């Protein structure tokens, strides 16, 4: 991985040259303060770039969830009574703090998760800030509705906060996925108890460090620890009014069953196996659009494939398969893999050994079921100082959609490619999956793009683009990909009660008794 080109690499957090300060251990963030876990236990937190431990994080128990809920319930009435303009001002102040600390948060998240710092600097962190601004604006623009039932009777509809909510965050975008959940909850007037993912408990605490002064105490609480213990303690707690979860399907079923037992709402986002469809006309010209489409295929390696909407199935028209894949493979060979804190790095390590081993097992499954390995498939050679890291090469298999590597979300940089004959064939393959979170359609024919986009059973169909997540574009799943939407003002409804005041101005009795 040595190169003669000039590169810029950020120093590791805690180093005097790093923008990120580092403490030896981190407690929970409860009621605006750092609170040691009642268990007295801490767990080593590892950077996937080298496999080294860089700090200790609280390993909390159910009692710590109770402490966080105490703080949230103590804060909820005052927070709910703040005007939308006041709540929006807090969200804007969070966004300003994120912007002011963009580099620090980007390096922290990259170091903890393994995603390249060029992604966190340019996507994760700016999008997180924008998300808070979007919901600050949305809640200012929120209005109730009035129905005139008749000229003496009126239904006034008000949005009211749910109260205290529980939110469980995945490891793949530790700060952005937290922002997606926290911003609408707070905007709608709720307080929250957040449980970060076990592999990435720290970067969100760095966020708490910089927004602790602008968020009223108890409105936002973060508790770290094992999912089996505190995730469950949060999700089953009678003192939450809603639970939100992003993760895998069995825990999704558990979350929904816990919600059913408490009679509270839940929202779940459970992943996908997203088709990315390339029609023959993408190669009609050798131009910027073709270049964009090639990049669109290779976005399967974005965030080392640890994305719920990873475009992990590429469907390519049979007439262009050979020349198009040749161009794509050439670009894949040029991917620079290595230290996530190096600005030139395009793909970093997987988040954990467990994820890396899972990817290896799926490469074996792909080979066993007869898929053709076009590139990758191994752990790469890396510099000696990265030898303990969890790296896996960007990998491409060619096969058919009935293979297991086409049907299961591998959550790594593994692409399964197949061909199609015509629009109907493409649509049938695209929809032949349990999941329905994302999809991509690439064509120069606008009418075809529209028809395909409407027919694909997925919550988000990127059309001539992929992996863009602007606030204001609703995101969520069809089928087994979960229930609910994020990233849109409709989230305010997911975090609100509807109060109807039905008012009669008629002085006369109804006449029944």
Partner 1 sequence: MADRVRATEEALEVIERLRAAHGPLVFHQSGGCCDGTAPMCLRADELPGGPNDACLGHVGGAPFFIDADQDRRWGAPTFVIDVAAGASESFSLEAFEDVHFVTHTPSEGL
Q: Which stretch binds partner 1 (CB under 8 A): 108-116, 316-324, 328-336, 359-367?
A: 359-367
Residue 63 makes contact with partner 1 by CB under 8 A: no
CB 246 to partner 1: min, Å:
7
Residue 455 makes contact with partner 1 by CB under 8 A: no
Residues near partner 1 (CB under 8 A), total: 51
Q: Which stretch binds partner 1 (CB under 8 A): 103-111, 170-178, 372-380, 461-469?
A: 170-178
Q: Which of 2, 250, 334, 510 binds partner 1 (CB under 8 A)?
A: 250
Centre a 10 Å sphere on the Cβ of residue 279 and count the other Cβ atoms it contains.
25
Q: Which of 269, 306, 393, 409 is catalytic?
A: 269
Residue 58 makes contact with partner 1 by CB under 8 A: no
Q: Is the dihedral of CA 364, 366, 369, 371 positive or negative?
A: negative
Residue 171 makes contact with partner 1 by CB under 8 A: yes
Q: How far apart are CA 439 and CA 431, in angstroms?
A: 10
Q: Would you call 135 exposed, middle or buried from its count of C-beta atoms within 10 A (0-12, 13-18, 19+)?
A: buried
Pairing of strands 52-58, 164-168: unpaired
Residue 51 makes contact with partner 1 by CB under 8 A: no
Alpha helices in 401-477 (DSSP H): 404-407, 423-431, 446-455
Nearer to partner 1, 60 or 190 (CB): 60
Nearer to partner 1, 11 or 354 (CB): 354
Strand order through the sheet with 496-504: 145-150, 153-161, 496-504
Listed in order, strand segments (DSSP E) in 425-495 are 435-436, 438-442, 460-463, 475-476, 478-479, 482-483, 485-486
Residue 261 makes contact with partner 1 by CB under 8 A: no
On whether the CB atoms of residues 443 and 449 are closer than 8 A, the answer is yes
Residue 436 makes contact with partner 1 by CB under 8 A: no
Residue 198 makes contact with partner 1 by CB under 8 A: yes
- Asked about 269 being catalytic, the answer comes back as yes
Query: Coil, strand, or helix at residue 79?
Result: helix
Pairing of strands 395-398, 414-420: parallel
Residue 6 CA, distance from chain mean position? 33
Residue 178 makes contact with partner 1 by CB under 8 A: no
Nearer to partner 1, 79 or 391 (CB): 391
Binding mask 282-321 for partner 1 (x = CB under 8 A): --------------------------x-------------
On whether the CB atoms of residues 164 and 69 are closer than 8 A, the answer is yes
Q: How far apart are CA 194 and CA 298, in angstroms?
A: 33
On whether the CB atoms of residues 377 and 398 are closer than 8 A, the answer is no
Residue 25 makes contact with partner 1 by CB under 8 A: no
Q: Which stretch binds partner 1 (CB under 8 A): 30-38, 121-129, 220-228, 274-282?
A: 220-228
Catalytically active residues, by annotation: 269, 308
Binding region for partner 1 (CB under 8 A): 170-172, 197-199, 226-229, 231-232, 246-254, 257, 269-272, 308, 352-354, 357-358, 361-362, 364-365, 368-369, 402-404, 407-411, 433-435, 480-481
């Amino acid at each position: 991985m040595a190169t003669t080109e000039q590169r810029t690499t950020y120093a590791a957090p805690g180093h005097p040259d790093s923008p990120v300060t580092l403490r030896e251990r981190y407690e929970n963030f409860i009621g605006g303060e750092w609170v040691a876990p009642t268990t007295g236990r801490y767990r080593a937190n590892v950077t996937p770039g080298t496999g080294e431990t860089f700090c200790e994080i609280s390993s909390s128990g159910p009692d710590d969830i109770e402490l966080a809920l105490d703080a949230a319930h103590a804060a909820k009435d005052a927070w709910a009574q703040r005007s939308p303009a006041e709540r929006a001002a807090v969200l804007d102040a969070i966004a300003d703090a994120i912007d002011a600390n963009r580099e620090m948060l980007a390096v922290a998240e990259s170091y903890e998760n393994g995603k390249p710092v060029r992604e966190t600097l340019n996507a994760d962190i700016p999008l997180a800030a924008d998300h808070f601004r979007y919901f600050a604006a949305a809640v200012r623009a929120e209005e109730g509705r009035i129905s005139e039932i008749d000229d003496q009777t009126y239904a006034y509809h008000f949005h009211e906060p749910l109260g205290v909510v529980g939110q469980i965050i995945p490891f793949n975008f530790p700060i952005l996925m937290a922002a997606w959940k926290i911003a609408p909850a707070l905007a709608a007037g709720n307080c929250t108890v957040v449980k970060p993912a076990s592999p990435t408990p720290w970067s969100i605490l760095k966020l708490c460090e910089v927004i602790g002064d602008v968020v009223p105490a108890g409105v936002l609480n973060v508790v770290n620890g094992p999912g089996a213990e505190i995730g469950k303690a949060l999700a089953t707690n009678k003192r939450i009014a809603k639970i939100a979860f992003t993760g895998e399907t069995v825990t999704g079923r558990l979350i929904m069953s816990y919600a059913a037992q408490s009679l509270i709402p839940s929202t779940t986002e459970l992943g996908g196996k997203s088709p990315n469809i390339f029609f023959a006309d993408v190669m009609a010209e050798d131009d910027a659009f073709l270049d964009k489409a090639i990049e669109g295929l290779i976005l399967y390696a974005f965030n080392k494939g640890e994305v719920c909407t990873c475009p992990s199935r590429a469907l390519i028209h049979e007439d262009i398969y050979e020349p198009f894949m040749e161009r794509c493979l050439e670009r894949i060979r040029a991917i620079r893999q290595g230290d996530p804190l190096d600005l030139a790095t395009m793909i970093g390590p997987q988040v954990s050994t467990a994820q890396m081993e899972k990817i290896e097992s799926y490469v074996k499954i792909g080979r066993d079921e007869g898929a053709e390995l076009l590139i990758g498939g191994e752990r790469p050679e890396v510099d000696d100082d990265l030898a303990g890291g969890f790296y896996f090469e960007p990998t491409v298999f060619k096969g058919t959609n009935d293979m297991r590597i086409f049907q299961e979300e591998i959550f790594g940089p593994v692409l399964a490619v197949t061909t199609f004959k015509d629009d109907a064939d493409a649509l049938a393959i695209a929809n032949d999956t349990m999941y329905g979170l994302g999809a991509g359609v690439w064509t120069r024919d606008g009418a075809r793009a529209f028809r395909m986009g409407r027919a694909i059973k997925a919550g988000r169909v990127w059309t001539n683009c992929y992996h863009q997540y602007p606030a204001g574009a609703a995101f969520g799943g069809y089928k087994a990909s979960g229930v609910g939407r994020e990233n849109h003002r409709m989230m305010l409804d997911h975090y609100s009660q509807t109060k109807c005041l039905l008012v009669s101005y008629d002085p006369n009795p109804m006449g029944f008794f």
